[in-house]
Structure 1
Amino acid sequence: MIVLPAKIILFAIFGAFLTGIACSLVGSFVVRMNLSSLGFCMSHAAFAGAALGLLLSFNPLVIAIIFSVLVAFILGPIAEKAKLDTNVVIGILFSLTISLGLIFLSFSPGTAMSSTALSILWGSILGITINDILRLTVITFSIILI
């Protein structure tokens, strides 16, 4: 039997609670706007950004957020200019960002299969820190206020 410290479990439960609130609020708008595959695209954009951060030796979280925001900003204009359905553009960006992420990881010197790269790919809710809880709290309350 594995015994985990209570702090790890409490952080995981509180992080899941905050994420559940934020995702449920945003999710209802995403479904109403017929963008249900947007989450897949954004998660792969974040992966590509984190891989780029590893390649450039910057903070992967910061680069992942920047990369995700850039993909979100180009999604609408591309769909309008190409006169394509938004879900088609999401599919194209989904494929593009996962490909870029794997390319960035393959060019990263010695980090392609490191613990940092693997934690970006597969993560664990038990790895939540107090800083993550603070970020989640700010994001969740920002979503509630909007």
Structure 2
Amino acid sequence: MEIVTSEFFQRALMGGLLIGITAPLMGLILVLRRLSMIGDTLSHATIAGVALGFLIDESYALGMGLVFALIAALAIEKLRKAYQSYAELSLAIIMAGGIGMASLLFTMGRGFTMDVDSFLFGSIYTLTNQDLIVIGVVTVVVLSVLGSQMKEMFLMAFDEDAAAVSGLPTRIYNVMLSVLTALVITIAIKIVGGLLVSALLTIPAACSLAVARSFRSSVVIVVVIGELAVALGLMIAGIWNLAPGGTIVMLLIGILLLLLLLRKTIGRLSS
């Protein structure tokens, strides 16, 4: 239990709890917009940027990852407009490009010391005070935007055409959502890793949709589940020396299965 009182664990817990708010919130909006795979897509683009950053200088890794995530997010919006009847094609195209570029750049960097695993599987225990400041700033930005634009986000999530007809500048909101998603994914990669970041976006949303009765209640539920999974996951991983990112994701899956079982049981009892 000594690990719980250590400074690096407390930094990890603080960073995890912050991302446990923003990632599920953004994930809920993305899932409602039928863009649940955007997490995987942008994470692969981010990893490609990280690889390029390592080739330039290790200190540029996360910054280049953010640049690539932003470019990929904007490219997805462009492709969604080009293939309106096949919007999911945009995700497949950008994901393929991200994977291809990442593999090439990692191959080019074989002669360098590249900490690839930390970006693939997360390195939450290595969070620094500077990392916490960045995560905190992103959290404030995301919560400020979502809090002030909740009604508009609700309309965008459920019916973008109706939002456009009502006079909402949908293009601006789409770009804004893309930028916010890119920011969240970039900082989440340090916590759960590029291969697992999509789970932190989508599984709390799946849990919420299984039990929530309204959009407002679903917002509360995703945050509660995200915070619970991060806190318990880090505690379990720290005590039993497990991979933090993987532990958080498996705990999220366990919560989802439990909620689905409870819903099914309650449905049988009430029928």
User: TM-score by structure 1 length?
Assistant: 0.88
- Is contact 1:47-1:64 (8 Å) kept? yes
Render the CA deviation track for 1:112-137: whole Å, top value 9, x for unaligned: xx352332222321111111111111
Alignment of 1:122 with 2:98, yes or no, is: no
- 2:105 corresponding residue in structure 1: 104
Measure the CA separation in 1 of the matches of 2:28 and 2:120.
26
- 2:20 counterpart letter in structure 1: G
Partner of 1:62: 63
Counterpart in the other structure of 1:71: 72
Structure 2, unaligned runs of 5 or more = 146-271
TM-fit CA distance, 1:94? 0.9
Give the alignment's Cα RMSD to 1 decimal: 1.9
Residue type of the alignment partner of 1:22: T
Percent of aligned pairs sharing the same letter:
24
- The alignment status of 1:29 with 2:29, answered yes or no, reads yes
Aligned to 1:86: 87
What are the Cα deviations for residues 74-120 of structure 1, in whole angstroms up to 9, with x where unaligned? 11112222445222210121121011001011012512xx3523322
CA offsets, 1:47-72, max 9 Å, x none? 00011112233611111000100000
Q: Which stretch of the first structure deviates more once superposed, 129-138 or 118-127? A: 118-127
The SS at the match of 2:115 is helix
Task: State the TM-score, normalized to the length of structure 2.
Answer: 0.49
In 2, distance between residues paired with 1:66 and 1:84?
28
Residue identity opposite 1:105 in structure 2: F
CA distance in 2, matches of 1:3, 1:107: 41
The alpha-carbon deviation at position 73 of structure 1 amounts to: 0.6
CA distance in 1, matches of 2:114, 2:109: 13
Describe the shift of the 1:52–1:96 C-alpha distance in structure 2 as closer, same or farther (beyond 3 A): same
What's the CA shift for 1:141? 0.8
For the 8 Å contact 1:54–1:105, the answer to whether it is kept is no
Q: Distance in 2 between matches of 1:56 and 1:36?
A: 32
Q: Give the distance between the partners of 1:64 and 1:84, measured in 2 at CA.
A: 30
Question: Which runs of 5 or more residues in structure 1 are unaligned?
Answer: none
More helix by share: 2
- Contact 1:18–1:137 (CA<8 Å) still a contact in 2? yes
Count of equivalent residues: 143
**Conserved in 1, the CA contact under 8 Å of 2:42 and 2:72?**
yes
- Structure 1 letter corresponding to 2:66: I
Q: Secondary structure at the match of 1:36?
A: coil
> Would the aligned equivalents of 1:76 and 1:86 in 2 still touch at CA under 8 Å?
no
- CA contact under 8 A between 1:12 and 1:128: conserved in structure 2? yes
**Higher RCO (C-alpha under 8 Å, 6+ residues apart):** 1
Larger Rg: 2
Aligned residue type for 1:130: N
1:43 aligns with 2:43: yes
Aligned partner of residue 72 in structure 1, secondary structure: helix
